[in-house]
């Protein structure tokens, strides 16, 4: 990835220039030549926001748009949600927040990943809400505020209640509160935690983490701080655990129409459809093989269609010889090894298939042979994965088309 440097501002405490990352450009509809594309249904996105808002029962909704909005394209998704009345948005990376501000997003943006490098000035310049969990982070942000002669900056403190990745442990909490007390340049506006088992059948672990979070909140308030925003609930928790909703909920996968666990989110509508077209047809006699490694052999005279999509686009290689796509409204089996750019499917039993017929890899299709759907959950089951990974693996070279049906 190319970078270019910019000199530190006069008076800045930074000893070295900041790198500015040049983000890779996503394939755009205007540049699309091949028929492979991801279609994003913005009406379904707004519907899911309304479902989440009802489930939140008065808590504010800050949608999680990390990983390019779960592969749906963060700027377009963010603009749609902002116009639809979402209260705020969460991302993992500072770079993701900058992208949204550059796209014109004005609602609060919470940066949850906790890594800011030396780019604390971007927090001030972009009016972002940082999540911190370390004394050094508090000191670095306070130092940036002093050198910029800025107003105090609000932050959220992450409490580790059992996830074990990032966050301040109960034993570390007094030291962080002392650091906050020493630095009036920063203001403790919120407390957050992350639930590890919200999609489990037994919600006992959720209750245990919430009890730890309640105790941490008590310690913070007894130390003289008054955070106005408490938040813990992800998609699964907000749909299943009323006690987790607090002041703000942080839905991610639910906004994109995927139930976070069995029995939750039955009103949700899938937002993304990934489709391509048949670009070639050929007939094989019984006994002929195809694809890398000759992993599939025709047991009868077979008609094979080639689709211009492969594992470089997000079509998982584990779907070779076991996954399905939709053609003319009916399932067709993927045959042979999924290759980088091309995949073959068996359309022997699909009467009337021709070049340029639509092939649906993810989503619903209705045609002359029926109506069916391929879900992210189905693909995850075949690839030993999870729906989150299925969506985020649709690569940047697949252009996103935004639909208003």
User: Which residues are annotated as catalytic?
Assistant: 66, 292
Q: What DSSP letter does each residue of 81-139 carry, written as one string?
A: HHHTT--EEEESSHHHHHHHHHTT--S-EEE-S---TT-HHHHHHHT-EEEE-SHHHHH
Burial class (CB in 10 A: 0-12, 13-18, 19+), 239: buried
CB-CB neighbours of 35 under 10 Å: 16
Distance CA 126, CA 110 (A): 11
Task: Give the burial class of 202: count Cβ atoms within 10 A of its Cβ; 0-12 exposed, 13-18 middle, 19 or more buried.
Answer: exposed
Give me Rg for the CA atoms of the chain: 24
- Measured from the Cβ of residue 173, the count of other Cβ atoms closer than 10 Å reads 19
The phi and psi torsions of 25 (rounded to 5 degrees) equal -80, 130
* CA gap 210, 253 in Å, rounded: 21
Q: How far is CA 285 from CA 155, 298, 306, 314, in A?
A: 67, 7, 17, 31
């Amino acid at each position: 990835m190319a970078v270019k440097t910019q000199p530190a501002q006069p008076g800045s405490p930074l000893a070295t220039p900041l790198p500015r990352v040049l983000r890779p450009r996503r394939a755009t509809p205007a540049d699309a030549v091949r028929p492979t594309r991801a279609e994003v249904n913005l009406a379904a996105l707004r519907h899911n926001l309304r479902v989440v808002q009802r489930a939140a029962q008065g808590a504010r909704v800050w949608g999680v748009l990390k990983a390019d909005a779960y592969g749906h394209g963060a700027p377009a998704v963010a603009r749609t949600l902002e116009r639809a009345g979402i209260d705020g948005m969460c991302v993992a990376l500072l770079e993701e927040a900058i992208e949204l501000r550059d796209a014109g997003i004005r609602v609060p943006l919470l940066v949850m990943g906790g890594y800011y490098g030396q780019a604390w000035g971007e927090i001030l310049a972009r009016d972002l809400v940082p999540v911190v969990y370390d004394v050094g982070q508090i000191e670095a942000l306070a130092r940036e505020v002093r050198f910029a002669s800025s107003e105090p900056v609000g932050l959220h403190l992450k409490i580790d209640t059992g996830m074990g990745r990032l966050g301040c442990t109960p034993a570390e909490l007094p030291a962080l509160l002392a650091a906050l007390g020493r630095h009036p340049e920063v203001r403790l506006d919120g407390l957050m935690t992350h639930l590890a088992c919200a999609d489990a059948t037994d919600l006992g672990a959720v209750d245990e983490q919430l009890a730890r979070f309640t105790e941490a909140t008590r310690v913070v308030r007894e130390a003289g701080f008054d955070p106005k925003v408490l938040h813990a609930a992800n998609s699964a928790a907000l749909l299943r655990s009323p006690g987790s909703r607090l002041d703000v909920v942080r839905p991610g996968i639910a906004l994109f129409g995927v139930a976070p666990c069995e029995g939750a989110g039955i009103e949700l509508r899938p937002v993304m459809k990934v489709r391509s077209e048949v670009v070639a047809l050929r007939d094989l006699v019984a006994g002929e093989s195809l694809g890398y490694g000759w992993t599939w052999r025709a047991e009868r005279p077979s008609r094979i269609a080639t689709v211009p999509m492969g594992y470089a686009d997000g079509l998982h290689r584990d779907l070779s010889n076991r996954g399905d796509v939709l053609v003319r409204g009916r399932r067709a089996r993927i045959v042979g090894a999924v290759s980088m750019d091309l995949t073959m499917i068996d359309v022997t039993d699909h009467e009337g298939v021709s070049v340029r017929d639509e092939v649906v890899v993810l989503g619903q299709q209705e045609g002359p042979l029926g109506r069916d759907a391929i879900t992210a959950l189905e693909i995850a089951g075949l690839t030993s994965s999870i729906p989150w990974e299925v969506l985020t693996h649709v690569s940047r070279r697949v252009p996103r088309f935004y639909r208003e049906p």
